[in-house]
Amino acid sequence: MRPDELLRPRPEGLYCPPGDFFIDPVRPVARALVTHGHSDHARAGHGAVLATAHTLAIMALRHGPDFCASRQAARFGESIDLGGVRVTFHPAGHVLGSAQIAVERNGLRIVASGDYKCRPDPTAEAFAPVACDVFITEATFGLPVFRHPDPAAEIGALIRSAEEFPDRTHLVGVYALGKAQRVARLLRDNGWNRPVHIHGALKEICSYYQASGIDLGDLRPATIEGGGRGDFAGAIVLGPPSSFASPWVRRFADPLIAFASGWMQIRARMRQRGVELPLVISDHCDWDELTRTLRDTGASQIWVTHGREEAVVRWCELNGISARPLHLVGYEDEAE
């Protein structure tokens, strides 16, 4: 069986003809397998959805309980038969519940990575490479300039800045699913024992993480209770980046804008965002981790999607691995 008989790109997303399902489709389809809860991967309106229990719960939080007609929870490591195709979910380490999906038939195994991260992170199930014939990798940070520093050091810089400027509110831009919880947890693990304040848009998913047994410490709403601006002097406040351009930020004392993202390695991006304190903290693997993973899977073929395909294909060429870009449509430059 040729690999593209098992999985092939279609306008709706990655399609498996023998199993008649899509992986992370960008348009409504009859049967969807979803790697994780980020909105460009997990859309509403499908017929049946197969995903991990966490991903299903997160989709219900974001899209409402009726986000699909029927759903099935996949457990990590357990195989499910779909029309003669063996499907297995493996942890991707990206956000809570995120999965790589292995698809097998007639001895051919293809793994679709979804988004993945190799570093230890107590807020997501640990990534492990899955041996396969074809590995479909994301390439969000697929350029050799992306080499993420130790997140503990980045969080250390935030804590030091909060101590250096106790009269200012440190506003940290974080996306609601994954980054917010990771930053809160990193703050805890690196000695920030005071409350962490959060914008209302982050509340639901943070509560979900905490209910799932992930300790994020004392999270409080970033609202003023009878006091003034001074309430938040010296505080660390997490909020979605979009909120920083809204009147919401006016309640804070001389806010210092930070942003936690893998993009913060690039100065033009820092300036574009008007960030005073860039924090290079990413949900994705960096270049070194990505290329190591390509080797670790033992795959003889790499398909590249979701980012800077060209450079990853070039690396494969230099390392004697056959590779091609998939050109899937509908995935944005990861807002992370």
Partner 1 sequence: MRAFAHLLERLVLTPSRTRKIELMVHYFRAVPDPDRGLGLAALTGDLDLVAVKPALIRQLVAEVTDAELFGLSYDYVGDLAETVALIWPAPGGSDAPLRLSQVVAALDGASRSEAPAVLRRLLDGLGPSQRFAALKLATGGLRVGVSARLARQALADFGGVEVNAVEEVWHAQASPYASLFAWLEGRGDKPVSRVAAPFRPVMLAHPLDERDRAAIGPRDYLAEWKWDGIRVQAVAEGGARRLYSRSGEDITAAWPDLIAAMEFEGAIDGELLVRRAAHGGDAGTFADLQQRLNRKSVSTRLQQQFPAFVRAYDLLVDDGEDVRALALTSRRERLALLVGRLDPLRFDLSPLVPFADAGELERLRRSPPHPVIEGLMLKRRDAPYLPGRPKGPWFKWKKDPHVVDAVLMYAQRGHGKRSSYYSDYTFGVWHEGELVPVGKAYFGFTDEELRALDRFVREHTTDRFGPVRAVRAEPGFGLVLEVAFEGLNRSGRHRSGIAMRFPRIARIRWDKPPAEADRLATLEALLPGSPGAPTP
Phi, psi of 200 (to 5 degrees): -55, -30
61-120 binders of partner 1 (CB under 8 A): none
Site map 110..129 versus Zn ion, x via CB under 5 A:
-----x--------------
The answer to whether residue 268 forms part of the interface with partner 1 (CB under 8 A) is yes
32-51 binders of Zn ion (CB under 5 A): 38
Q: Could you give the C-alpha distances from 251 to 158, 176, 180, 218, 232, in angstroms and in order?
A: 20, 21, 20, 21, 8
The answer to whether residue 325 forms part of the interface with partner 1 (CB under 8 A) is no
Separation between Cα atoms, residue 255 and residue 246, nearest integer Å = 13
Q: Answer with the entry of Zn ion, partner 1, none that 115 interacts with (C-beta below 5 to 8 A by kind).
A: Zn ion
Angle at 77 between CA 76 and CA 79, to 5 degrees: 110
Q: How many residues bind partner 1 (CB under 8 A)?
A: 36
The answer to whether residue 179 forms part of the interface with Zn ion (CB under 5 A) is no
The answer to whether residue 266 forms part of the interface with partner 1 (CB under 8 A) is yes
How many Cα atoms sit within 13 Å of 91 on the Cβ side?
A: 16
Residue 99 belongs to what H/E stretch? strand 99-105
The answer to whether residue 233 forms part of the interface with partner 1 (CB under 8 A) is no
Structure token pair of residue 217: 């410490």
The answer to whether residue 309 forms part of the interface with Zn ion (CB under 5 A) is no
The answer to whether residue 311 forms part of the interface with partner 1 (CB under 8 A) is yes
Q: Yes or no: say if 110 and 67 are a contact pair by the CB < 8 Å rule.
A: no
The answer to whether residue 290 forms part of the interface with partner 1 (CB under 8 A) is no
Positions touching partner 1 (CB under 8 A) are 143-147, 149, 157, 164-165, 244-250, 254-255, 257, 265-268, 270-271, 274-278, 308, 310-311, 314-315, 318
